[in-house]
Amino acid sequence: MMKRHMARELAVQSLFQMELSDLTAEEAIEFAVDDKEYDEFVGRLVEGVVANKDVVDAKIREALVNWSFERLGNIERTILRLAVYELLFEEEIPVRVTINEAIELTKAFAEDEATKIVNGVLGKVASSIEKESGPSN
């Protein structure tokens, strides 16, 4: 099994490609993954984000303070979508793991100041989920 960090990187690359083109999830994954064999986790993440994009985007919009959704850079928006999808729908993944992974992806793919935005949004989303469902991981 592919390491989950690498799977998340490939998911971000796939989602980013979809944001900038008219590729399907399958095409974007195939484009991002050199050997055409990928972990099912990549597909689950990409397809999950695509299927739940409206709900995910709404959560991101709710968490943004003094910043509009449209003002987010494409890569920051993509990383936030992936992480918020995980927070909402991948319950077996601990919240702190999702947030830490998103911060690492932001450091790798975005500008330095973007980590503050991503961390702040994810902290607010995680808090709102905890309030709605009670304490979890």
Domains and CATH numbers, the chain: 4-133 (1.10.940.10)
Question: What's the gap between Cα 111 and its chain centre?
Answer: 16
> Rounded to whole angstroms, how far apart are CA atoms 131 and 84?
15
Q: CA angle 13-15-20, nearest 5°?
A: 95
pLDDT at 69: 94
Q: What is the largest CA-CA distance in the chain?
A: 42
pLDDT at 37: 59
pLDDT at 31: 84
pLDDT at 135: 56
Q: Chain-wide mean pLDDT for the chain? A: 91
Check pLDDT > 60 for residue 72. Answer: yes
Structure tokens at 91: 């319950």
Check pLDDT > 70 for residue 36. Answer: no
Model confidence pLDDT, tens digit, residues 76-112: 999 999 999 999 999 999 999 999 999 999 999 999 8
pLDDT at 132: 84
Question: What's the gap between Cα 113 and its chain centre?
Answer: 18
Residues 32 and 17: beta-carbon distance below 8 Å: yes
pTM of the model: 0.91
Check pLDDT > 80 for residue 39. Answer: no
> Rounded to whole angstroms, how far apart are CA atoms 111 and 14?
19
